[in-house]
Amino acid sequence: MRIVRTVADVRAAVADARSRGEIVGLVPTMGAFHEGHLSLIRQARAESGLVVVSLFVNPTQFGANEDLSAYPRDEERDAALARDAGVDILFAPAVGEVYPDGFATTIHISGITEVLCGAVRGPHHFDGVATVVAKLFAIVAPDAAYFGQKDAQQIVVVRRLVRDLDIPVRIVACPIVREADGLAMSSRNVYLDAEARAQATALNRALSAAEAAVAAGRTDAASVLAAAHAELAASGIVPEYLELRSPDDLRPVDVVARPALLAVAARVGRARLIDNRILEA
Ligand code: AMP
């Protein structure tokens, strides 16, 4: 595995692999690797000749009062895990390499970025995500890019980005990886103390309660959401949002008649956590 810092060096490595006829897979990350990241990397490894993992804590997707400076960073550990997982290129640029002096472009995707996390974190969040992902696609030009279903809205945004801008990349959504007690793995779980860590398991239980409601025939949004809210309330959690939306375009869903995205965000202890489940009709 090579650790690469510059756009030029990534391009050279990708061109070299392409000249050998290899398929290129990209896994964008902000580091602090856990099994969720590694599952994406393994899938990319299984489907690609060259696996590029980007490690970049993207400042433009953080708000002024968010955790940019506190975000967990440990490049040495990440590099060791990436090497063990068979990554070929770890692209870990400095902020100035991605956003050089005079950088002035923002990609804004309207209609799907104002809701859910966009409503809570503000419009800059998905502008930052779309802009950095577009740059990574332009830098690496991968055949496929791997994202976690954990960030369900991010996948909707990235799919719209590549569709609207005709970017020739296959977007692969990978399943949510969870701890043994159901908590979705997240780099931000390190912010949880013992009490908050126990409380956080209510998110997955709430999603399961909603799933059970649908399985029992209570498919209207009010019943589904009530089942989930009850589970959160039992653990003292008031969510930032708990909503049922279309997994394709995030339009509100009134009745689970086809697969529907149940998405939740909540502050638990010092962490802001998100989770979701696709509810099957
Ligand atoms: P991050 O470093 O948090 O930006 O995440 C990088 C990628 O890993 C994103 O595509 C996430 O959706 C994905 N990811 C994060 N946590 C998980 C998880 N628990 N299961 C699956 N994918 C995940």
Domains and CATH numbers, the chain: 2-174 (3.40.50.620), 187-279 (3.30.1300.10)
pLDDT value, residue 167: 99
Regions of the chain short of the pLDDT cut 50: none
Sheet hosting strand 260-268, strand order edge to edge: 241-245, 260-268, 271-279
With a 6 Å cutoff on the Cβ, whether 40 touches ligand 1 is yes
pLDDT at 117: 98
Whether this prediction's pTM lies above 0.95 is answered by yes
Q: How far is the CA of 33 from the centre of ligand 1 (A)?
A: 9
**Which of 151, 171, 172, 186 has most ligand 1 atoms within 8 Å of its beta carbon, as the pocket-test mutant?**
151
Q: What angle do CA 64, 66, 68 make, to 5 degrees?
A: 95
The answer to whether the CB of 62 is under 6 A from ligand 1 is: no
Cβ of 30 closer than 6 Å to ligand 1, yes or no, is yes
Q: List active site positions.
A: 37
Per-residue pLDDT, 227: 98
* Straight-line distance from the first to the last Cα atom of the chain, in angstroms, rounded to the nearest whole number: 44
In this structure, the residue with its CA closest to atom 17 of ligand 1 is 36
User: What does the pLDDT read at residue 86?
Assistant: 98
Amino acid residing at 212: A
**Strands 50-55 and 89-91, how do they pair?**
parallel
What is the reported pLDDT for 253?
A: 98
Strands of the 24-29 sheet, one edge to the other: 2-4, 89-91, 50-55, 24-29, 144-148, 170-174
Whole-number pLDDT of residue 123: 87
Give 37 Cα–ligand 1 centroid separation in angstroms: 5
> What is the distance in A from the centroid of ligand 1 to the CA of 185?
8
Atom 19 (ligand 1): residue with closest C-alpha? 185
Distance from the CA of 34 to the center of ligand 1, in angstroms? 9
Q: Is 93 in the pocket of ligand 1 (CB under 6 A)?
A: no
CA-closest residue to ligand 1 atom 13: 148
C-alpha span between 76 and 105 (Å, rounded): 31
Q: Which residue has the tokens 């393994």?
A: 42
Q: How far is the CA of 245 from the centre of ligand 1 (A)?
A: 20
CA dihedral of 99, 101, 104, 109, whole degrees rounded to 10? 10
